[in-house]
């Protein structure tokens, strides 16, 4: 019994020392981060969670009554719970025109719709009062060559210093990763869909 008590006391002491060390390291790093500015966040990879993370960040900002906007580079008729919520809250929300057609592969129409949506992004990227801009699924537009990568990168770099931008989508281009401040790659370990489970309203869209 006494042996067990001693062992517990030793484990407790070890744990305390480890936690104190971690705390000191974290405090050191927090102190070192002194720069205050908006960031460019890229959420990429093949796993689930990119758009939900982007919208989660929008929800954070909205919670503080900060000015936010969303531009979604997907077909306008796709359902999306976040869109319905944010529109109700008065968040400017542009969805790429319904001309965008994965189905008919009408490239000219797709390009026109992508450029139209990009025009809205370009305006937001010049607005010093905008705290956060989410460009959901933008990476595909760059990968398909629907938008000019240099033009997009230049606009991102010229944006107001306090504006944060979140970009989601698979296969983020290296040039985009290079100019980003935070890049997360969501890696799929498992996905329910592969086990034959249908995508669910309120979970997957
Ligand atoms: P979410 O919107 O759920 O955060 P996402 O933005 O990371 O997903 P997308 O590539 O935009 O992923 O996915 C579009 C749709 O496909 C969403 O409904 C998403 O839940 C689903 N999905 C995401 N990853 C996978 C996967 N690895 N396998 C099957 N379906 C997926
Ligand atoms: Mg997505």
pLDDT digits (tens, 9 = 90+) for 172-200: 999 999 999 999 999 999 999 889 999 99
Tokens at 115, concatenated:
């450029």
The pLDDT value given to residue 146: 93
* CA 181 to the chain's CA centroid: 12
Q: Which atom of ligand 1 is nearest to the CA of 205?
A: 18
Residues near ion ligand 2 (Cβ under 5 Å): 50-51
Written as tens digits, the pLDDT of the chain (205 aa) is: 578 889 999 999 999 999 998 888 888 888 888 889 999 999 999 999 999 999 999 999 999 999 999 999 987 677 889 999 999 999 999 999 766 666 666 888 889 999 999 999 999 999 999 999 999 999 999 999 999 999 999 999 999 999 999 999 999 999 999 999 999 999 999 999 889 999 999 999 9
The pLDDT value given to residue 99: 61
The pLDDT value given to residue 30: 86
Identify the H or E element spanning 9: helix 2-32
Cβ atoms within 10 Å of 126's Cβ, excluding its own: 13
Ligand 1 and 191: CB distance under 6 A: yes
The pLDDT value given to residue 100: 61
State the Cα–Cα distance between residues 150 and 129, nearest whole angstrom: 24
The pLDDT value given to residue 102: 63
Ligand 1 and 92: CB distance under 6 A: no
Nearest bound ligand to the CA of residue 80 = 1
* Residue 92: strand, helix, or coil: coil
The pLDDT value given to residue 78: 75
The pLDDT value given to residue 97: 78
Where do runs of H (alpha helix) occur along 64-199?
81-88, 107-124, 138-143, 149-157, 174-179
State the Cα–Cα distance between residues 146 and 142, nearest whole angstrom: 6
Q: How far is the CA of 2 from the centre of ligand 2 (A)?
A: 57
């Amino acid at each position: 019994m006494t042996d067990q008590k001693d062992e517990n006391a030793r484990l407790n002491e070890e744990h305390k020392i480890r936690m104190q060390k971690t705390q000191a390291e974290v405090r050191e790093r927090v102190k070192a981060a002194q720069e205050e500015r908006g960031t460019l966040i890229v959420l990429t990879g093949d796993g689930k969670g990119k758009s939900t993370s982007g919208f989660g960040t929008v929800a954070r900002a909205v919670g503080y009554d900060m000015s936010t906007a969303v531009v979604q580079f997907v077909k306008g008729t796709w359902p999306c719970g976040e869109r319905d919520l944010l529109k109700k809250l008065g968040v400017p929300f542009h969805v790429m025109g319904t001309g965008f057609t994965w189905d008919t592969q009408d490239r000219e129409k797709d390009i026109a719709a992508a450029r139209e949506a990009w025009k809205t992004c370009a305006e937001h990227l010049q607005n010093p009062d905008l705290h956060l801009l989410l460009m959901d699924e933008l990476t595909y537009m760059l990968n398909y060559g629907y938008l000019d990568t240099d033009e997009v990168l230049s606009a991102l770099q010229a944006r107001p210093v306090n504006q944060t931008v979140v970009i989601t989508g698979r296969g983020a281009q290296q040039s985009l990763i290079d100019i980003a401040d935070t890049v997360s790659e969501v890696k799929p370990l498992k996905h329910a869909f592969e086990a034959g489970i249908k995508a669910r309203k309120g979970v997957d869209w």
